[in-house]
C-alpha cells in the first residue's frame, strides 16, 4: 500500500511539472514570431466553434493553472500521509537555507535567489524580444507628430507596460489560501506573502514608468490635453489606464509597513480597491491582455468563494484568559473531525468589533492533544486587539448570569500538509515575544504524540524564548506540564529564557516559573450554550497546569535544568555551535519566529557557523522562519 501511494505521489509530481513547464513555455514563446503565426492560425481555426476565440484563450492561458491547482490538492492529500511515514531528509532541503541576509529583503534562501534570477531573465527576454521588433519596424503614429527619439522612447514605455502585466499575472498566486499552488512546494501562505509584496512593488514600478513616460512624451509633443482624456471605442483606453495607475499607487502606499502596522484599517479597506484596479486594467489593456492575467484572478475569486463558504458557520469564544502582559488566550470550540498540523493559522472575525475585518492568529493548541477546542493567543498591539481586550473586560464587569458567548467566525485553519520536523533528530525553536505562539503547538503535538508511539519525533527539543519583560513567561502556560515533568530520557524538552529589559534576579528558575503562572490576571469563562457548543472533554491526568503542580514534587527537579538570563540578548552563534553537542543530534532544524532583526541574526549564525569537526560528522542545520504578523 505504501509503495502504491508513493507511486501515485511521484506520478502526480511529474504531471504537475509537465503542466507548469508547458505554461511557462507559453510565456517564453509569446514574444516570438513563431507564436504569433501559430496563434493566428489557431484563432482562424476556432472562429466557427461555439466558444470560439474566448474558449481558446481560456483553454490556453487559464485551464493549465486550474488543472495544476486541482492536481495539487490531490497531491497534498497523498503527500501528507507519505511524509508522516518518512524519516529521511529531502535532497533539496539545502536550497532553502539562508543565502542572503539583508535588512531590505530579509532572509532569502538559495531557492528564492534562483527563482528571482529566472524571473528577471524572463522579464529581460520579454522586453528585448518585443522592443527589438518595435525598433526594427518603427512606424510613425498618425495622431502624434513625434521625432525618432520620442517615438523610440514611447515604444520603450509601452513595453514596460508588458512587464507590469507579467507581474500582475503572478501577483495573486501567493495570497491564495485554499488553492495549493505554493503549498505543493512547501511554502505556506504566511511565508508567500512577501512574494506578493515583491511582485506588487515591481508591478507599481513598471506601471509608473509606463504611465509617466507616456505622459512625458505626450507633454513634450503638446498632445497631452487631447490624449489624457480619451475614452476611445477601439484600442487602448488611456483614461482607464491613468485611473488604474492612481488606484495601484494608493494600494501600494497604504501597504507600506508604517501604515499597515499602525493603521491596519486603512491598509485593509484600501486593498479592496484591487477590484477597481482589475476592472480598469480590462478596459485599458483589452481582452487579449486580460486573458494573460485571468488565471490568477479566476483562482483568487474561486479561493475567495470557498473561504466565504467555509467561514459562514458561527461559533463563539468559550473562554478567555487575560494575562498581565496584555495578552489574551481565547478558546474556541471546533469539530472533533477537524485536524490541523502545528504552526497552522486561523483568521478570526468578531462582529462586535468589526463586521468586515479578519485577523490572523497562530493556533497554540494541538489537534492531537485537544480534539474539540482551538486555542489562540492575541496581544494588544493595534486597534482591533485593544477593542477585543476592552470587550472581554466589559463581559467580566457585566452580571455573570447574563453573560453571553461573544459570537465569532473562523476561517481556516491553514497550515502545512504534513509535519516536516519529523524528519530531524533535534529541533531548536527560537522565539521572540508573541512569536512563541506557533511553537506552543509544535511542543504540544510532540508531547501528545510521544505517548501514542505512532510516529517518530525528534528526541531533543530546545526552546529559546527572548522577551522584554519576565511577565511574558505566562504565555507558556499551555506547555507548563511538559516543562515540569519530562516524559523520559529519550524525548527531552529544554527551555532557555532571555529577559532583555530586566536586571539580574536571584530567584531560581522554579520561582520564576511559579510567578509566571501566578501573574494570571483574569480567567473569564462564559456560559456554555448547551445546544450549540459541546461540553469540553475532561483533562487528562498528565495535563497539569503550572499552578496545579507541587513544586516540591518530582517536577521541581526537572524544572531546575531550565535556564533564565537577564539583561541581555542571546548570542545565537554560540547557541547554535553548542546545541548539536548538547542534543547529540547531527540533523538539526532551526525554526525562528519573531522580529525581522531576530530572524536575520539567526540566519547569519546558521550561514556563518563552521564546526571544527570533519564534514562527515559535521551537524547539518536547516533554517526555517515563521511569520506571526501578516
> Are 355 and 269 in a shared domain?
no
Domain end point (choices 268, 287, 310): 310
In angstroms, rounded to a whole number, what is the distance separating the alpha carbons of residues 206 and 198?
12
Instruction: Output the pLDDT for position 257.
Output: 86
In angstroms, rounded to a whole number, what is the distance separating the alpha carbons of residues 141 and 155?
11
For residue 15, what are the contacts with CB-CB under 8 A and spacing of at least 6?
71
Is 347 within the bounds of a domain?
Answer: yes
User: What mean pLDDT comes out for the span 522-538?
Assistant: 37
Question: Which three cell numbers mark 365?
Answer: 493548541
> Are 410 and 517 in a shared domain?
yes
310-319: pLDDT as tens digits: 888 888 888 8
* Comparison of pLDDT for 522 and 165, the residue scoring more: 165
Is 217 within the bounds of a domain?
Answer: yes
Cβ-count burial 251-281 (b if 16+ within 10 Å, e if not): bbebbeeeebeeebeebbebeeebeebbebb
Q: How confident is the model at residue 300 (pLDDT cuts 50, 70, 90)?
A: very high
Domain end point (choices 88, 109, 128): 88
Q: Are 417 and 80 in contact (CB under 8 A)?
A: yes
Question: Which three cell numbers mark 542?
Answer: 498528565
In angstroms, rounded to a whole number, what is the distance separating the alpha carbons of residues 24 and 21?
5
User: What mean pLDDT comes out for the span 446-461?
Assistant: 69
Strand partners, 407: 316
Is 178 within the bounds of a domain?
Answer: yes
- What is the DSSP pairing of strand 106-109 with strand 492-499? unpaired
Angle at 426 between CA 421 and CA 429, to 5 degrees: 75
* Comparison of pLDDT for 487 and 531, the residue scoring more: 487
- The closest alpha carbon to 442, from 109, 424, 98, belongs to 424
> Are 191 and 55 in a shared domain?
no
For residue 472, what are the contacts with CB-CB under 8 A and spacing of at least 6?
325, 327, 433
303-352: pLDDT as tens digits: 999 999 988 888 888 888 888 788 889 999 888 888 888 888 999 999 99
227-248: pLDDT as tens digits: 777 776 666 788 889 999 999 9
> Are 380 and 325 in a shared domain?
yes
Domain end point (choices 259, 284, 310): 310
Q: How confident is the model at residue 455 (pLDDT cuts 50, 70, 90)?
A: low
Strand partners, 363: 376
3-state secondary structure 502-514: CCCCCCCHHHHHH
Q: The CATH number of the domain where 387 resides is what? A: 3.40.50.80
396-435: pLDDT as tens digits: 776 555 556 788 999 989 887 666 666 777 889 999 989 9
> Are 319 and 265 in a shared domain?
no
For residue 579, what are the contacts with CB-CB under 8 A and spacing of at least 6?
426, 428, 462, 588
Q: Is the dihedral of CA 120, 124, 127, 129 positive or negative?
A: negative
Query: Could you tell me if residue 602 is left (phi over 0), alpha (psi between -120 and 50 degrees) or otherwise beta?
Result: alpha
Q: How confident is the model at residue 543 (pLDDT cuts 50, 70, 90)?
A: very low
Is 6 within the bounds of a domain?
Answer: yes
Q: Are 592 and 626 in contact (CB under 8 A)?
A: yes
Q: CA gyration radius for the chain?
A: 28
Q: How many CB atoms lie within 10 A of CB 67?
A: 14
> Are 350 and 227 in a shared domain?
no
Is 117 within the bounds of a domain?
Answer: no
Angle at 295 between CA 290 and CA 298, to 5 degrees: 95
> Are 71 and 156 in a shared domain?
no
Please count the structural domains in the chain: 3
> Are 282 and 328 in a shared domain?
no
> Are 280 and 325 in a shared domain?
no
Q: What is the DSSP letter of 265?
A: H
> Are 285 and 338 in a shared domain?
no
> Are 346 and 435 in a shared domain?
yes
Collapsing DSSP to helix, strand or coil, 365 comes out as coil
- Percent pLDDT > 90 in the chain is 25
Q: Are 296 and 165 in contact (CB under 8 A)?
A: no
In angstroms, rounded to a whole number, what is the distance separating the alpha carbons of residues 568 and 561?
20
Q: How far does CA 338 lie from the centroid of its chain?
A: 21
> Are 236 and 335 in a shared domain?
no
Q: Are 405 and 529 in contact (CB under 8 A)?
A: yes
Scanning the structure block, which residue is given the C-alpha cell 512624451? 217
560-586: pLDDT as tens digits: 567 888 888 888 888 888 887 766 666
What range defines the domain where residue 4 resides?
1-88
357-392: pLDDT as tens digits: 888 999 998 888 888 889 999 988 888 889 998 888
Q: Is the pLDDT of residue 542 over 50?
A: no
Is 121 within the bounds of a domain?
Answer: no
Q: What are the DSSP E strand ranges found in 42-114?
A: 98-102, 106-109
Strand partners, 622: 589
CA distance between the termini of the chain:
40
Q: How many CB atoms lie within 10 A of CB 148?
A: 9
Instruction: Output the pLDDT for position 262.
Output: 80
Q: Are 61 and 290 in contact (CB under 8 A)?
A: no
The number of C-alpha atoms within 13 Å of 381 and in the hemisphere containing its C-beta is: 14
- What is the DSSP pairing of strand 319-323 with strand 587-593? unpaired
- Answer whether the bond into residue 572 is a cis peptide, omega within 30°: no
Instruction: Output the pLDDT for position 289.
Output: 85
Instruction: Output the pLDDT for position 207.
Output: 95
Is 81 within the bounds of a domain?
Answer: yes
Collapsing DSSP to helix, strand or coil, 303 comes out as helix
When mean pLDDT is compared over 21-35, 36-50, 69-83, 538-552, the highest value belongs to 21-35
In angstroms, rounded to a whole number, what is the distance separating the alpha carbons of residues 553 and 576?
33
Tell me the pTM: 0.83
Is 100 within the bounds of a domain?
Answer: no
**Backbone phi, then psi, for 103, in 5-degree steps?**
-70, -25
- The closest alpha carbon to 287, from 44, 25, 62, 50, belongs to 62
User: What mean pLDDT comes out for the span 71-98?
Assistant: 67
**Backbone phi, then psi, for 514, in 5-degree steps?**
-65, -40
Collapsing DSSP to helix, strand or coil, 496 comes out as strand
Q: Are 376 and 348 in contact (CB under 8 A)?
A: yes
102-153: pLDDT as tens digits: 777 888 888 889 999 999 999 999 999 999 888 888 776 665 667 788 888 8
Instruction: Output the pLDDT for position 485.
Output: 64
Amino acid at each position: 500500500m505504501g509503495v502504491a501511494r508513493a507511486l501515485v505521489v511521484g506520478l502526480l509530481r511529474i504531471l504537475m511539472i509537465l503542466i507548469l513547464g508547458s505554461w511557462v513555455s507559453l510565456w517564453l514563446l509569446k514574444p516570438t514570431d513563431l507564436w504569433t503565426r501559430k496563434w493566428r492560425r489557431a484563432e482562424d481555426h476556432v472562429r466557427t466553434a461555439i466558444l470560439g476565440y474566448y474558449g481558446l484563450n481560456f483553454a490556453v492561458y487559464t485551464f493549465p493553472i486550474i488543472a495544476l491547482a486541482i492536481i495539487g490538492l490531490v497531491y497534498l492529500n497523498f503527500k501528507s500521509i507519505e511524509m508522516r511515514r518518512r524519516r529521511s531528509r529531502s535532497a533539496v532541503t539545502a536550497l532553502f537555507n539562508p543565502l542572503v541576509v539583508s535588512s531590505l529583503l530579509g532572509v532569502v534562501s538559495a531557492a528564492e535567489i534562483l527563482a528571482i534570477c529566472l524571473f528577471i531573465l524572463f522579464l529581460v527576454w520579454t522586453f528585448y524580444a518585443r522592443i527589438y521588433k518595435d525598433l526594427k519596424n518603427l512606424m510613425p503614429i498618425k495622431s502624434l507628430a513625434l521625432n525618432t527619439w520620442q517615438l523610440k522612447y514611447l515604444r520603450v514605455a509601452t513595453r514596460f507596460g508588458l512587464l507590469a502585466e507579467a507581474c500582475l499575472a503572478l501577483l495573486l498566486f501567493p495570497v491564495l489560501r485554499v488553492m495549493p499552488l505554493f503549498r505543493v512546494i512547501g511554502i505556506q501562505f504566511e511565508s508567500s506573502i512577501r512574494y506578493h509584496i515583491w511582485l506588487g512593488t515591481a508591478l507599481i514600478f513598471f506601471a509608473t514608468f509606463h504611465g509617466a513616460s507616456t505622459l512625458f512624451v505626450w507633454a513634450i509633443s503638446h498632445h497631452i490635453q487631447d490624449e489624457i482624456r480619451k475614452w476611445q471605442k477601439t484600442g487602448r483606453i488611456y483614461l482607464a489606464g491613468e485611473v488604474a495607475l492612481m488606484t495601484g499607487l494608493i494600494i501600494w502606499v497604504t501597504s507600506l509597513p508604517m501604515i499597515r502596522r499602525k493603521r491596519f484599517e486603512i491598509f485593509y479597506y484600501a486593498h479592496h480597491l484591487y477590484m477597481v484596479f482589475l476592472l480598469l486594467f480590462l478596459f485599458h489593456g483589452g481582452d487579449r491582455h486580460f486573458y494573460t492575467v485571468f488565471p490568477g484572478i479566476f483562482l483568487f475569486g474561486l479561493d475567495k468563494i470557498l473561504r466565504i463558504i467555509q467561514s459562514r458557520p458561527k461559533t463563539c469564544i468559550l473562554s478567555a484568559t487575560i494575562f498581565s502582559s496584555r495578552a489574551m488566550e481565547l478558546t474556541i470550540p471546533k469539530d472533533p473531525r477537524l485536524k490541523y498540523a502545528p504552526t497552522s493559522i486561523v483568521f478570526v472575525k468578531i462582529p462586535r468589533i468589526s463586521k468586515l475585518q479578519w485577523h490572523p492568529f497562530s493556533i497554540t493548541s494541538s489537534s492531537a492533544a485537544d480534539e474539540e477546542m482551538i486555542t489562540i493567543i492575541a496581544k494588544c498591539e493595534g486597534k482591533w486587539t485593544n477593542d477585543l481586550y476592552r470587550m472581554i473586560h466589559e463581559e467580566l464587569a457585566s452580571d455573570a448570569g447574563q453573560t453571553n458567548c461573544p459570537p465569532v467566525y473562523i476561517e481556516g485553519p491553514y497550515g502545512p500538509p504534513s509535519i516536516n520536523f519529523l524528519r530531524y533528530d533535534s529541533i531548536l525553536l527560537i522565539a521572540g515575544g508573541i512569536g512563541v505562539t506557533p511553537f506552543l503547538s509544535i511542543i504540544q503535538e510532540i508531547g501528545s504524540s510521544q505517548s501514542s508511539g505512532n510516529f517518530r519525533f525528534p528526541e531533543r527539543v530546545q526552546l529559546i524564548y527572548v522577551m522584554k519583560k519576565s511577565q511574558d513567561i505566562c504565555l507558556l502556560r499551555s506547555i507548563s506540564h511538559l516543562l515540569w515533568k519530562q516524559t523520559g530520557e529519550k524525548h527531552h524538552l529544554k527551555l532557555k529564557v532571555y529577559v532583555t529589559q530586566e536586571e539580574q534576579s536571584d530567584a531560581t528558575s522554579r520561582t520564576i516559573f511559579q510567578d509566571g503562572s501566578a501573574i494570571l490576571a483574569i480567567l473569564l469563562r462564559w456560559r456554555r450554550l448547551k445546544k450549540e457548543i459541546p461540553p469540553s472533554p475532561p483533562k487528562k491526568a498528565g495535563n497539569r497546569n503550572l499552578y496545579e503542580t507541587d513544586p516540591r514534587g518530582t517536577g521541581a527537579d526537572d524544572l531546575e535544568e531550565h535556564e533564565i538570563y537577564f539583561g541581555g540578548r542571546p548570542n545565537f552563534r554560540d547557541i547554535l555551535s553548542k546545541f548539536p553537542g548538547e542534543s547529540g543530534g547531527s540533523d538539526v532544524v532551526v525554526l525562528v519566529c519573531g522580529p525581522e532583526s531576530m530572524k536575520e541574526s539567526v540566519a547569519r549564525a546558521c550561514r556563518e557557523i563552521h564546526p571544527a569537526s570533519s564534514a562527515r560528522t559535521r551537524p547539518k542545520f536547516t533554517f526555517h522562519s515563521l511569520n506571526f504578523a501578516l
